[in-house]
Amino acid sequence: MGYDQVIAYAAASGNLELNAFLPLIAQCLLESCDLLARGADIFRRLCVEGIEADEARCRTHVESSTATATALLPLIGYEAACQVVQSAAKTGKSIKQSAIDEGLLTAEQFDELVSPEAVCRLGSSSYQKRKTMVEYAPKGLRLHIGLFGRRNVGKSSLLNAITRQQVSIVSEYAGTTTDPVEKPMELLPLGPVLFIDTAGIDDAGVLGQLRVKRTQQVFERTELGVIVTDGGAWGDFEEQLRSHLKELKIPAVAVFNKIDLRGRARRLLRS
């Protein structure tokens, strides 16, 4: 502490680029380093060496601590994790046992999620899996799912059906969705996701081009692309979308919508 004070005082006492106390600063700094090195060595010899972790006890603490439930979020989501904590508090069982009894996880999945490697790495363990899957860094804390397709194919209807909410405006007029519409939710067993409904990629005119531009920006943060198409009408637009997503190494899912109108596109599905 003394050296630290001296260095701070000496450093503050210099004028312009000239500091007459530099030799003093250097001496204090070197002696501080020496003291620190000796202190660390003594600490190692007298306090650290010989310490042994009681593995079984540590494991019991990890499996019983309610904080552990946080590590389960990427796989089971917030609501299910709350359920596990409440049931553990009620029954007196460990978090691990409660999660297994609730049928939410297997023992192996639990061990993997709370392993030191999983809890110490940045982001959640599921992101790491996704990263391997798409070899692409995640853009945020949620998996970004982009809904793409031509106008009026039912992108917004699909989003509303998945979320069971009126998130996006649906109408029979092509070009209803203008700016991207975002909806965060938990999608089990994926965990937290962000759906992004977009404007039709085939929009025309000056305004239409601006909308398409906004849709194209969504590709940059999409980690899973959903290509929505109208029944059996898979065409050039959809193919272009597919290859664009492939180029960006974004996995894609195709949704054949309005099959009640067009009949099942069996041939296309088979191909």
CA dihedral (135, 80, 183, 227) in degrees, to 10, reads: 50
Q: Give me the 130-149 binding string for ligand GTP, x by CB under 6 A, dash otherwise.
A: -------------------x
Cα 202 to Cα 123: distance, rounded to the nearest angstrom: 36
Under rule CB under 6 A, residue 162 binds ligand GTP: no
C-beta closer to ligand GTP: residue 75 or 196:
196
Cα 94 to Cα 18: distance, rounded to the nearest angstrom: 64
Cα 246 to Cα 214: distance, rounded to the nearest angstrom: 20
Residue with tokens 């312009």: 16
Cα 204 to Cα 167: distance, rounded to the nearest angstrom: 25
Under rule CB under 6 A, residue 167 binds ligand GTP: no
To the nearest whole angstrom, how small is the minimum distance from the Cβ of residue 158 to ligand GTP? 7
Under rule CB under 5 A, residue 257 binds Mg ion: no
C-beta closer to ligand GTP: residue 180 or 191:
180
172 binds, among Mg ion, ligand GTP, none (CB under 5 to 8 A by kind): ligand GTP
Two tokens, residue 115: 């392993």
Cα 244 to Cα 242: distance, rounded to the nearest angstrom: 5
C-beta closer to ligand GTP: residue 94 or 257:
257
Q: Give me the 250-269 binding string for ligand GTP, x by CB under 6 A, dash otherwise.
A: -------xx-xx--------
Under rule CB under 6 A, residue 172 binds ligand GTP: yes
Cα 103 to Cα 157: distance, rounded to the nearest angstrom: 32
SS3 191: strand
To the nearest whole angstrom, how small is the minimum distance from the Cβ of residue 230 to Mg ion? 13
Q: Give me the 97-136 binding string for Mg ion, x by CB under 5 A, dash otherwise.
A: ----------------------------------------
Q: In terms of C-beta distances under 8 Å and separation of at least 24 residues, what long-range contacts does 38-44 make, across chains too?
A: none
191 binds, among ligand GTP, Mg ion, none (CB under 5 to 8 A by kind): none
For 49, phi then psi, to 5°, come to -60, 135
Contacting residues toward Mg ion, per CB under 5 A: 156, 176-177
Contacting residues toward ligand GTP, per CB under 6 A: 149, 151-157, 170-172, 174-177, 199-200, 257-258, 260-261
